[in-house]
Chains A and B, each alone.
Chain A
């Protein structure tokens, strides 16, 4: 049996898997950013009870295997909240995002804390409110410090997204395994999928590194100059 024609025949199908995988990744990263950044600010600047709640959240989402989280939400939490109609894709993306938020919050927290104390003092001494100082002085610096570490989240979430296979999201791995079942070709198919993951990984990191260089400031931060 000739492998190549089969791969070519399945290629559009694989591409739809790629789209789905990228969808999971982008939503996951975006949701993680949307939740993770405020959580980091909360951990640095807010009151003890708030910090405690965020701490528990982080502990929970970093403490469980991704597959366990996924099943918990798919079979238990979302149906329990009356959201049993959500598609597997949405549940997968949300779980990746909730989990990513826990990790991202710690990246941002570290970055915020590594901005020199004097920056806030100088800002306040000019009459800025704390909020203005955070927005105009602390965050622009913290985000630059955070970016190299944050870039790690992309390959992490990209590879983690394959686990959504387990709840039936039709992403790259799901399509791969369907291919294997139907064509009885194993190694070449998995190799093709591996190749696609590597390309996605490489491309995404390339974009992020370019971003790092673009926002770099002479003499500031992490040597991304």
Chain B
């Protein structure tokens, strides 16, 4: 593997809340254009891991590099790195007082210092990417969850990030709306966007992920292609976990 292909390097991340050690040393490399999916029981630090990457939650130990530059301990430069590391949240977190268009525009204007016309143009382009250009003038409260999530993806895309972190992007959505968001994400993956996705959607993981990281008790317990983790008899823990979810759903 050519080292230059590595866009994000995560090394030995530790994080505790109170006495509770949520992450106990997580490391992985992300190649440009790759989609990595994180799966595992709740409370195993998947979301915390994503927030440690863009320093929304500073890790206690460990380091993160983006394109060879250290993100951890970067002081005020963190605001630069965060532009390059997009994030999509379970509950969208759209800016409630702004239309879809203004949501996508805001950081272009206030962070990138773009001119009004240019920012508007770019925001419309990104909304088109996620199929939301017809809803540009609607406020978040007027959108369905799926639509809101697509706008939030457009908002992240607008900063031209090197990688986007998806923190359970469909967990607040019903199956119908989940599908429309996953479609957008699949399209992004096909177009070569680098993505880290925390999700419970096995179907998505199998069809899109280059690699699945199964997390348990704050560490990566199993790691490999979806096919490997699901079918190779040497790997059992993710299969057990999925079995437990399925049997719970059938109850």
In the assembled complex, the Cα of A144 lies from the Cα of B141 at a distance in Å of 15
- From known contacts A121-B89, A217-B139, A219-B139, infer whether A127 and B107 are also in contact, taking CB-CB under 8 Å: yes
Complex contacts, A43 vs chain B, CB 8 Å: none
B93 touches A121 (CB 8 A): yes
**How many residues of chain A have a CB within 8 Å of chain B?**
22
**Nearest B residue (CB) for A118:** B93
The complex places the Cα of A217 from the Cα of B94 at a distance, in Å, of 14
Contact assessment for A129 and B141 in the assembled complex, using a CB-CB cutoff below 8 Å: no
Interface presence of A163 (CB below 8 A): no
Given that A126-B82, A126-B83, A137-B95 are known contacts, is A121 also in contact with B56, CB under 8 Å in the complex? yes
Judge whether B56 and A119 touch: CB under 8 Å.
Answer: no
Question: A47 near B: Cβ within 8 Å?
Answer: no
Query: Counting chain A CB atoms within 10 Å of each CB, which of B56, B111, B139, B140 scores highest?
Result: B111
Is the C-beta of A128 less than 8 angstroms from some C-beta in chain B?
Answer: yes
Q: Is A218 an interface residue (CB 8 A)?
A: yes
* A128-181 interface with B by 8 A CB criterion: 128-129, 132, 136-137, 140-141, 144
Neighbouring A residues of B60 by C-beta, 8 Å:
none
A220 adjacent to chain B (CB < 8 Å): yes
> Chain A nearest CB: distance from B17 CB in Å?
16
**CB of A56 closer than 8 Å to a CB of B:** no
Does B80 belong to the interface (CB within 8 Å)? Answer: yes
Q: A126-B159, A127-B82 are in contact. Are A119 and B95 (CB under 8 A)?
A: yes
A45, chain B: closest CB distance, angstroms:
17
Task: Say yes or no for B231: interface residue by CB 8 A criterion.
Answer: no
A209 within 8 A of B: no
Q: Shortest distance in angstroms between B71's beta carbon and chain A's nearest beta carbon?
A: 12
Query: A136 to B56, Cβ gap below 8 A?
Result: no
Tell me whether A119 and B96 are in contact (CB under 8 A).
Answer: yes
- A contact face: mostly helix, strand, loop, or mixed: helix
Q: Are A128 and B96 in contact (CB under 8 A)?
A: no
With known contacts A125-B82, A128-B79, A141-B96, A219–B91 Cβ distance under 8 A? no
Nearest-CB residue, chain B, relative to A135: B110
Within 8 Å of chain A (Cβ to Cβ): is B87? yes
- B110 to chain A: closest CB distance in Å? 5
Least CB distance, A224 to chain B, in whole angstroms: 13
Partner of B106, one of A124, A136, A144, A219: A136
From B108, which residue of chain A is reached at the shortest CB distance? A126
Contacts of B107 in A (CB 8 A): 123, 126-128
Q: For residue A140, which residues in chain B have a CB less than 8 angstroms away from its CB?
A: 97
Complex contacts, A136 vs chain B, CB 8 Å: 106, 110
A sample of 12 cross-chain residue pairs with beta-carbon separation below 8 angstroms, ordered by A number, consists of A118-B91, A122-B87, A123-B95, A124-B56, A125-B54, A125-B56, A125-B87, A126-B106, A126-B155, A127-B111, A129-B76, A219-B141
Interchain residue pairs A-B with the least CB separation, the first 7:
A219-B141, A122-B93, A118-B93, A127-B83, A126-B107, A127-B82, A125-B87
